[in-house]
């Protein structure tokens, strides 16, 4: 009974395995060039070997600049010529963001690059029962991961997608920072003027929560937090003066709100300004951050 024709869809490694095997099937493995790159902030290293791990070019440093990339590409082409390579597999460990320029620049020069997860490199080192951390061992681990087809399929984003990804992630971070600052402001106001965020009145023998401002983060509320965070600073001005300031600043607030604010200020438990001076300073900084 003859051998069945290979079905690329049914590879045990799935699509990734099918693509890898299709590039190797039918060629002399002696003519497969492996390029392992260990990226870093300043000192990148590369190693060239064949599919069986025989070193063709010992680990060498190169810079991520025109001269450095020219050196790397010349080494690759020399090795290609030496073994008459029919396939070239280049792998780089995804170290922070330092590897990205290498991937982009090699791509521009017509080379495909496989990204190796640092966890895979770690596992390759661990499998050799060698726990020391050196650049050369990392290079060997990256080369072995390439040979074993343990690279990641995903490619670096480009164009509009890359811009949107960066901006979306930045927006998410800003939203998280804003949430933390808002929590900080509420906590500080609890220490400085507890009733500013809401007070309790008894109606029909039942406690009921009352708000001075319906929107704590609205323009009017933030104005008073910034300029009159302590009850004494408000009481010193008087209702008439504060109402004039409100009209001058064109704040959307009714006079009844001002009256309620002064009512709460007179009935609040007031701490001495000196006692909450640290909180007042931190509040001023938090408002600036917000």
Quick: pLDDT tens for 179-194.
999 999 999 999 999 8
Q: 3-state SS string over 38-66?
A: ECCCCCEEEEEEECCCCEEEEEEEECCCH
The number of angstroms, rounded, from the C-alpha of 250 to the middle of its chain's C-alpha atoms is 40
In sequence order, what are the residues at sequence separation of 6 or more whose Cβ sits closer than 8 angstroms to the Cβ of residue 82? 56
- Dist. CA 25–CA 211, nearest whole Å: 74
Element (H, E) at 32: strand 32-38
| H or E stretch covering 148 | none
Cα(170)–Cα(164) distance, integer angstroms: 10
pLDDT for position 50: 94
Tell me, what's the pLDDT at 154? 61
Residues of the chain with pLDDT under 70: 1-9, 11-16, 128-135, 153-154
What ranges do the domains of the chain cover? 9-156, 165-289
Q: Is the dihedral of CA 239, 240, 243, 245 positive or negative?
A: negative
Q: Which CATH class is domain 9-156?
A: alpha beta
Q: What is the reported pLDDT for 253?
A: 86
Q: What per-residue confidence (pLDDT) applies to 12? A: 56
Q: Give tens-digit pLDDT for 3-45.
A: 455 555 576 566 667 777 777 788 888 999 999 999 988 889 9
Is residue 195 within 8 Å of residue 264, measured between CB atoms? yes
Structure token digits, residue 111:
């080379």
Read off φ and ψ for residue 37, nearest 5 degrees: -125, 130
CA distances from 251 to 173, 215, 237, 242, 264 (A): 31, 13, 17, 11, 20
Query: Three-state DSSP class for 114?
Result: strand
Statement: the pTM of the whole predicted model exceeds 0.75 = no
**248, 277, 36, 7: which is closest to 137 by C-alpha?**
36
Residue labelled with tokens 């063709």: 56
Q: How far apart are CA 95 and CA 119, in angstroms?
A: 11
b/e per residue 34-50 (b: at least 16 CB within 10 A): bbbbbbbeeebbbbbbb
Beta-carbon contacts of 109 under 8 Å, excluding residues fewer than 6 positions away, are 69, 73
Q: Say how far apart CA 290 and CA 280 lie, in whole Å.
A: 15
pLDDT at position 255 is 84
Q: What are phi and psi of 151, to 5 degrees?
A: -75, 170
pLDDT score of 1: 41
């Amino acid at each position: 009974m003859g051998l069945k024709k290979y079905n690329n869809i049914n590879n045990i490694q799935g699509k990734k395995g099918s693509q890898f095997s299709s590039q190797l099937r039918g060629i002399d493995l002696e003519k497969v060039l492996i390029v392992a790159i260990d990226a870093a902030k300043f000192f990148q290293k590369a190693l060239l070997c064949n599919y069986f791990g025989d070193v063709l070019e010992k680990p060498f440093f190169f810079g991520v600049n025109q001269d450095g990339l020219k050196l790397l590409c010349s080494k690759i082409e020399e090795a290609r010529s030496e073994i008459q390579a029919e396939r070239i597999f280049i792998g780089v460990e995804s170290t922070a963001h330092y590897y990205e320029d290498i991937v982009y620049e090699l791509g521009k020069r017509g080379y495909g690059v496989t990204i190796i997860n640092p966890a895979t490199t770690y596992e390759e080192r661990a499998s050799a029962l060698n726990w020391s951390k050196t650049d050369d061992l990392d290079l060997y681990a990256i080369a072995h991961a390439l040979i074993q087809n343990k690279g990641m399929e995903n490619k670096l984003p480009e164009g509009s997608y890359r811009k949107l990804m960066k901006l979306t992630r930045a927006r998410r971070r800003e939203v998280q920072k804003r949430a933390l600052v808002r929590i900080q402001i509420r906590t500080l106001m609890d220490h400085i003027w507890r009733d500013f965020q809401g007070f309790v009145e008894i109606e029909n023998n039942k406690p009921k929560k009352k708000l001075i401002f319906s929107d704590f983060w609205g323009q009017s509320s933030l104005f008073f937090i910034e300029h009159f965070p302590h009850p004494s600073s408000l009481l010193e001005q008087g209702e008439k003066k504060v109402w004039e300031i409100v009209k001058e600043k064109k704040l959307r607030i009714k006079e009844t709100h001002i009256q309620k604010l002064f009512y709460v200020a007179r009935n609040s438990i007031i701490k001495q300004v000196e006692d909450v001076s640290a909180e007042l300073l931190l509040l001023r900084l938090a408002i600036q951050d917000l």
